[in-house]
Amino acid sequence: MDNSKTVRVPRPRSLLVFEPFPSSRGWAWPSRRANTVFVIALAAQLLVLFGINHYYGLHEADLPPLSGDVSAPGTDADFDWYALEPKRELAWVPCYSGQKCARLLLPFDYDTPDGPTTAIALRMKPATDKKNYRGTIFLNPGGPGGSGTEFVGRLGKNIGDVVGPSFDLLGFDPRGTGFTTPVAWCFNSDSERAIWTTQEGHQLLNASDHSVGLFHARAKLLGERCQTRIGGEWGIGRFVSTPNVARDMLEISQMLGQDKLQYWGFSYGSVLGQYFAAIYPDKVKRLIVDGVYDAENYKAALWNTNIVDVDRAVDALFDFCHQAGPDKCALYDSSPDKIRRRFFRVLEHVKQNPITIPLAEPPAIITHKALLAQFFYATYKPLTMYAPVVNTMHAIETGNTAALTALAPLIVSPIECKCGDRPDPAFRGDNEVTFAIACGDGEERAWDLGEYRKWYRGLEHQSHLMAPMWGIYWMQCAEWPIRAKSRWTGPLAAKNTSHPILVVSAKYDPVTPLPDARNVQKRYAGAGLLVQDSYGHCSLSSPSLCTAKHVRRYFEEGTLPADGTLCDVEELPLVGKRDSSGLQALSAEDAQLLVSLRGLSEGMPVHRGL
């Protein structure tokens, strides 16, 4: 299905909740019954096109499975991780239709091997080409806090089509996350956490007004609560550090009979890859960092280089909308600048006039903050998420409540009551474990309002629009009381690695920019750099046969791309396929690879952080 096509939606007479903006287009006004049918049909199509991905506050929930690896209810989908006995050696059991699962006991503290342990959840998609078997590739989807077991389940088949059939793919839930126990959670249930999140309200963070007081109080309280729940001498919060996870990967790799690591890490996974290559440079067989955050900046807990290119991704929406034309972009106008003015006119209007959606289930209110969050996270995956953004803004502009009712789950996420005995694994990686890992890894600093305002002004210089979306990280880490027992204080660099690493970056990544990737490449001797000419977070946000073939060649042969390699993509946001005639001439293998890449661009998770 071509996601670039926009559904034209009529404006109902009786459901307007505010006076619509003037529009140059005419609309047919159907009956109420027709509106009801339309809402159901559009909602169904949106769920098919974009998955059940929705926003609450400052995060997007992960999309549903796309790879087909997760079985239907009643079969392997009922696999109970907690019934699987954790052991000190790898003891695989069949799971998820042809895959293998295990829970591995590893020490909290490698200096105290007989002390408390963590049970690491591992999920493997075995290689299908046993004759040319090349070992296991470890995967990390980001976060920090994203679930590797879920990542392999949802996208393992697609990743396998990229790297080839001769590799096992291993996803694991790092310490404190997912099905790994104990979890680094500070709330008793998902519902309790959701209630805490709602108390933030609809106010945006701005260092020049009173909002700082609210957000700082929340950061301080969360830190204090987590100290009581996961702190203390043997609290899990002290042992979720990235150096510990790097050691876990080495231990698991060696248990698999592989002395050196093969790894592909995305976003925060790029930080984990940098740590591994710096701490164990002689244990690198193949290592790709994709969507790269400079780990030196991360280790310093600065968080001040991330959004230098986010405004480029913002501006790209208006350019792609104009290029796509009126049949594919609901906000189309005669120039990108006119589209931009219409877009920001709507955004400014909603700041003073939030939109009510009485027929949504449950009823919802669209606020300026909700729209900004939707747009920010759309910059992570423009190919699949720019269409809902422009459809939302157009529906507000024209007063089309029927369309807004259908779009509501993509804008404001309702809270569900999940008050069971066992918390949901929270695969999204958008809970407090993000801070447990990132702030515990970072350098300690005391909260200082003047320093914070200075730091925030630097963010505003990068992007005045999106600074509120990133403004919490320095603040939360300043109020994070749990220090990692083991921190890496050496340089995140290597004069030599046993095989050169490969650094991969989109040209305009909204949160892990290309300048960071270039800095990382320079610090690891012999490293290669592959740049993908695209907008979005990590290379998987846009399908590129060129990128995929370089990745496969690197894993199979160890070959780095030539200096200055720039890979085109096969599809553009809103516009669609770049060369349909050329795509028709693809080999069967490349055509299937392109389908898998499209699935990856749809299914790549979006986390609150990285």
- Residue entry with tokens 């516009």: 575
Burial class of residue 100, CB neighbours in 10 A (0-12, 13-18, 19+)? middle
Q: Can you tell me the mean pLDDT for 211-222?
A: 96
What SS3 class is residue 291?
coil
Average pLDDT on 332-338 reads 98
Confidence band of 414 (pLDDT split at 50, 70, 90): low
Residue bearing the bigger pLDDT, 606 or 106: 106
Residue with the larger pLDDT of the pair 491 and 51: 491
Average pLDDT of every residue of the chain: 87
Tokens of 185: 């959670």
DSSP 557-609: H-PPPPTT-EE--SEETTTEES-HHHHHT--HHHHHHHHHHHHHHHH----S-
**Strand ranges inside 193-293, DSSP E:** 261-266, 284-290
Q: How many CB atoms lie within 10 A of CB 360?
A: 21
d(CA 323, CA 4): 12
| Segment holding 94, helix H or strand E | strand 93-95
pLDDT band at 470 (very low <50, low <70, confident <90, very high): very high
415: its two tokens: 């809270």
Reading phi first (left if > 0) and then psi (alpha if -120 to 50, else beta), residue 399 is in: left
Which pLDDT score is estimated for 171? 98
- 336, burial (CB in 10 Å: exposed 0-12, middle 13-18, buried 19+): middle
CA 49 to chain centre: 18
| Euclidean distance between CA atoms 70 and 282, whole angstroms | 36
**Highest-confidence range of 60-64, 391-395, 603-607, by mean pLDDT?**
391-395
Evaluate if residue 452 carries a pLDDT over 50: yes
pLDDT reading at 402 higher than 90: yes
Mean pLDDT of 277-296: 98
Q: What is the mean pLDDT of residues 463-479?
A: 97
Residue at 45 is within a domain: yes
In a domain, 395, yes or no: yes
For residue 529, tell me if it sits in a domain.
no
- Spell out the SS3 assignment of 160-203: HHHHCCCCEEEEECCCECCCCECECCCCCCHHHHHHHHHCCCCC
Q: Is the peptide bond before 409 cis (omega within 30 degrees of 0)?
A: no
CA angle (313, 319, 321) in 5-degree steps: 105
Is the pLDDT confidence value at 29 over 80?
Answer: no
Nearest residue to 2 (alpha-carbon basis) of 568, 577, 410:
577
Q: How far apart are CA 442 and CA 436, in angstroms?
A: 10
Q: Model confidence at 461, in pLDDT bands (50, 70, 90)?
A: very high
Which residue range(s) make up the domain with 53?
32-65+308-410
Tell me how many domains the chain contains: 1
Query: 601 in a domain, yes or no?
Result: no
Ramachandran region of residue 68, left (φ > 0), alpha (ψ -120 to 50) or beta? left
Asked whether residue 297 is domain-assigned, the answer is no
What's the rounded Cα separation, in Å, for the pair 491 and 487? Answer: 12
Tens of pLDDT, residue by residue over 131-178, are 999 999 999 999 999 999 999 999 999 999 999 999 999 999 999 999
Residue 76 included in any domain = no
Q: Which residues contact 7 (CB under 8 A, 6 or more apart)?
A: 42, 45, 391
**Mind listing the pLDDT tens digit for each residue in 177-208?**
999 999 999 998 888 888 898 888 889 999 98
Burial call 302-314: b when 16+ CB within 10 Å, e when fewer = bbbbbbbbbbbbb
C-beta contacts of 43-50 below 8 A and 24+ residues apart: 43/405, 43/406, 43/409, 45/7, 46/388, 46/406, 46/407, 46/409, 46/410, 47/409, 48/1, 49/1, 49/3, 49/384, 49/387, 50/3, 50/384, 50/385, 50/387, 50/388, 50/410, 50/602
Specify the higher pLDDT residue, 11 or 543: 543
Instruction: Please tell me the predicted confidence (pLDDT) of residue 589.
Output: 92
Q: What are all long-range contacts of 455-461, with beta carbons under 8 Å and residues at least 24 apart?
A: 455/302, 455/304, 456/207, 457/207, 458/304, 459/304, 459/307, 460/207
Q: Tokens 């190919």 label which residue?
A: 383
pLDDT confidence tier of residue 362, bands split at 50, 70 and 90? confident
Residue 312 lies in a domain: yes
Please list the residues that pair with 105 across neighbouring strands.
119
Beta partners for 207?
Answer: none
- Give Cβ neighbours of residue 316 (< 8 Å, ≥ 6 apart): 382, 508, 535, 573
Residue 606 has pLDDT above 90, yes or no: no
**Side-chain half-sphere of 355: how many Cα atoms within 13 Å?**
35
Structural contact between residues 396 and 5, judged by C-beta atoms closer than 8 angstroms: no
Question: Does the residue 355 lie in any domain?
Answer: yes
Per the CB < 8 A criterion, the answer to whether 548 and 521 are in contact is no
